[in-house]
Structure 1
């Protein structure tokens, strides 16, 4: 399937131009052939008239002056020579012009007056023949057929030369027409390119909507897209506001319940009240965890039509600075290798959440080395985050991406960091694979489409 609009239009233009010229070429050839044929007929008719004017009857016998004056210098050229013949009514040759070969033409004295025809001689050569019947010559009754003939070869050469010129001319005209068509199409498609540029600017966050500087045929599309963009932005904001309001409204009663649970659990842990307090506190913590998780998902979800391009290096530098303050006693070497231009197609908040979760885990579990690299592979961007820590067992790699699952029990946490990171990657049509790293620990291989 041809997906390029430019190629489709160009192909349609080529087909129409070729079909038009294929239809026009035979018509022009036919018109020129008819005109040339009329010219030959007129010339032969003139020659026959000259022969009739020169003929005389003496005592019932035909007399022709010798020689008949030549009216055209081209008659000395063999193919261009005009041949003259006079036949009686029985078809017998009564006279022929000087140097004319024996005729293989049979006159038809049938009272039709004149006739122009094309015939083939016995030697295979073709001739034009103009035949005029004469019944009155010099005021006396006569019964003769005056015939002027000419070879078809000059006519055919002229027609072939014309056909060659037509092919060359039509070929040049087709090339010129296609160049003009390409230029016109390029000029016409500038509006689509401008629309594409504006859409790219919207995806990059440089513009809020499409402008009105487009042809009238595209205004309905641009206005519909603007309404869609506005509706999407409003819907996303309402969604986030609703989640924020819900979380805010639940925080206070959850805090109260948390306080009650801590009060109950602060007594005798073995008593029924202490056990109920511990259960209440655990359930409240789980509810808080669920609320935080859903809020994080809402804040880093893909933004649909609007696509960002965020620089990775500043985000990594800020995260590394924060982690060095969190782990001041742990010297970690962070190795960064980013292919130009070092951008990922995510929103800044999503990239910060993604790299924050992965880098914090690597920083916490590594022995001293963490590596982050970004490379371009075909139409995809590949982000690798590696450490020299204990690694992740193969059997546990899919489980740690589930909400609430944790392998590290020595440090506090809710077990939702990797789940949030995985949701972010899937939300931007990416993939995540956990592998063994050459450094000795785990490698997180993340792949995003470039566009």
Structure 2
């Protein structure tokens, strides 16, 4: 709309200049014809006797004789000496000198008199007058104030009419573009619904110019959905295929552990089997919680916090942990619900396990993204250890069972959503995990 409006304004400005120039040229041509006719009047009245010019006291055109008239006449010889002037020029003083060169020139000039008044001057050269040699420059003069007034009036009219036309044109452009792009707005609405998970495909209710685009997007959506389903099914089949042999190995290990000499080897084998189980679980979580390429989710944070708080209070019922919240109303995060539950569950479980009595969750919305902060009043994490615990398999707390995959899962999920995770000290005294989700 801005581009179309700019082009329309430039076109109207160019049209106004063209119309004004065309009217100015037409008006000057009319004035030139008028002054040329007046020159003809002076020529018809002039006569030459004994090589001298004679003009009658009363000219056929009375405009040359009236003192308050707006038409003036002069006759010069070939040397530029003034031979005759009309009675109407008694108070007119112009700085004009005709240039006689024998080429019978006819020229229209614009000059100013001594008072600065603009004048049109028409100069015609003649060589013959009633068959006798007569080298004269016959000049007629007319003030340009009427011309300037007409041109100013035309300019004002052009501003009014072209300005009004421009407004009408802009309104029509706005209506036309609004009507023309309504189908794109419909497609945008459907894409928003696809991103929000409200529909799976775009409809076919679009103009034929857009059908190829919508069909290509539908093929992309179908392909992505099928690919993700095959990926998850393949991993599930792999996990199922591996769990049975692992269970058998565990059973064999339990049988062998009854013998004293085999306990050390059985313990090593059990640890490795448990590690394999953890790795399988980690890869399944990673596959199921990664971000979709086209679907954009918005999950309300408060209900998930309620669910997690209830579960963690039961697990750590003997600790009496207080979960503090600082959240805007209806605050949402751009993650799939399962992914957000996994991320928040891991961070809160770490906070509940390591805190003294307080865990705080806060969030705020910035112009360039959303921030989620989880912190506690526990012992905190040394600065030289912060990068290490985000690696897969690294654990600082060895008193509780686990393979150190929780924060690795969190970081992997956040990476798939182009989000960042930073770790520093909390004002509560413990660790602070800060998650930033860019827009």
What is the TM-score when the length of structure 2 is the normalising length?
A: 0.82
In structure 2, relative to structure 1, the CA distance for the partners of 1:334 and 1:72 (3 Å cut) is farther
The equivalent residue for 1:255 is 247
What is the match of residue 384 of structure 1? 373
Which residue number corresponds to residue 128 of structure 1? 121
**Which residue pairs with 1:33 in the alignment?**
24
Asked if residue 371 in structure 1 is aligned to residue 364 in structure 2, the reply is no
Inter-partner Cα distance in structure 2 for 1:72 and 1:194: 76
Q: Say if 1:82 and 1:148, in contact at 8 Å, map to a contact too.
A: no
Paired residue total:
431
Taking the aligned partners of 1:119 and 1:322, their CA distance within structure 2 comes to 97
Instruction: Verify: 1:310 aligned to 2:299, yes or no.
Output: yes
**Residue of structure 1 in register with 2:138 after alignment:** 147
Structure 1: state its 5+ residue gaps: 1-5
1:89 shift after superposition: 8.8
Deviation of residue 346 (structure 1)? Answer: 0.5
Pair 1:352-2:341 in alignment: yes
Does structure 2 retain, via aligned residues, the 8 Å contact 1:45–1:148?
A: no
The residue correspondences of 1:216-365 to structure 2 (distance < 5 A) are 216-268=208-260, 271=261, 273-365=262-354
Conserved in 2, the CA contact under 8 Å of 1:109 and 1:133?
A: no
The Cα shift of 1:128 comes to 1.8
Match status 1:410 vs 2:399: yes
1:199 to 191, 208, 215: 191
Structure 1 residue 398 displacement after superposition: 2.4
Separation (CA, whole Å) in 2 of partners of 1:279 and 1:100? 127
Q: With structure 1 as the length reference, what TM-score do the two structures score?
A: 0.81
Q: Matched residues in 1 for 2:370 and 2:393: separation?
A: 29
Aligned partners of 1:239, 1:189: CA distance in 2, in Å? 39
Give yes or no for contact 2:102–2:127 (8 Å, CA) kept in 1: no
Partner of 2:200: 208
8 Å contact kept, 2:64–2:86? no
**Equivalents in 1 of 2:254, 2:61: separation in Å?**
138
Say which SS state the counterpart of residue 242 (structure 1) adopts: helix
Measured after TM superposition, the shift of residue 349 of structure 1 is 0.5
Unpaired runs of 5+ residues, structure 2, are: none
Indicate conservation of the 8 Å contact 2:64/2:87, yes or no: no
Rounded to whole Å, the distance in 1 between the matches of 2:328 and 2:37 is: 88
**In 2, Cα distance between the equivalents of 1:202 and 1:252?**
39
1:325-344 CA-partner distances (Å, limit 9, x unpaired): 32333322221221233111
SS at match of 2:62: coil
Change (3 A) 1:72 1:333: farther
Which shows bigger deviation, 184-193 or 322-331? 184-193
Deviation at 1:117, TM superposition (A): 3.7
